[in-house]
Amino acid sequence: ATSISSFLGKTGFNLRRTLDYARSRPCVLLLDEFDAIAKRRDDDSEVGELKRIVNVLLKELEDWPLQSVLIAATNHPELLDKAIERRFDIVIDIPLPGDNERAEILRQSGRQFSDQIPAELMHALAVGLEGTNGSELDSLMSAAVRQHLAGEQELVRSLVEEFQLRLSERLSTPSLGAVLRSVQANAKGLYKVRDLAELFGKAPSTIQHHLKKEVQHG
């Protein structure tokens, strides 16, 4: 159930009810996106309601029963109140996946379709997606597979298009040259200008232009 409410006092009530239920019987309670209810109390941008919620959490966690397990997850640990972390017996920091891990996540997300993607290209895309988490990688590959199945387009082309879209979203100045450079630099020499032109559906002269422009302004 959703605990956050726009009504004053309702969020605290919902949270207490959820915690009371979990305390009353053996169970495992997962609080995802924990930063939404456990933000730093010294943040002046937050309203008093959320600060009171943190106080509720601190009190409840202090006396948490042994028969129940409470797990909290967040992608933004820097937003958590400093006192919250001390209330947990175990704190696990899960780093973002590395190059090889990102490639494996893409491969597994593509399931039986992944055999259509050359290993060198998969590695190149994985390197270009540095800083991307597992969920985003799974979403990227799933979107590419859907586009492949719906449009009868080669999966390689669909995956490259999704890669280009996601990388452009993360760049302050979207550039085809940045995408091309990533593929060319990390595919172990597999793709020359003509290969990139076929892969991206553009003329070789256009590919050459963007690669040179990237070098000039890099």
* 70 membership: H or E segment, kind and range: strand 69-72
Q: What average pLDDT score do residues 144-169 get?
A: 84
Q: What average pLDDT score do residues 8-16 get?
A: 70
Pick the CATH number of 10-85 from 3.10.450.50, 3.20.20.70, 3.40.50.300, 3.90.230.10: 3.40.50.300
* 147 membership: H or E segment, kind and range: helix 134-151
89 residue type, one letter:
D
Residue 10 has pLDDT above 80, yes or no: no
Tens-place pLDDT, residues 198-217: 877 788 898 888 887 654 44
- 172 by Cβ neighbours in 10 Å (0-12 / 13-18 / 19+) ranks as exposed
Share of the chain above pLDDT 70, in %: 84
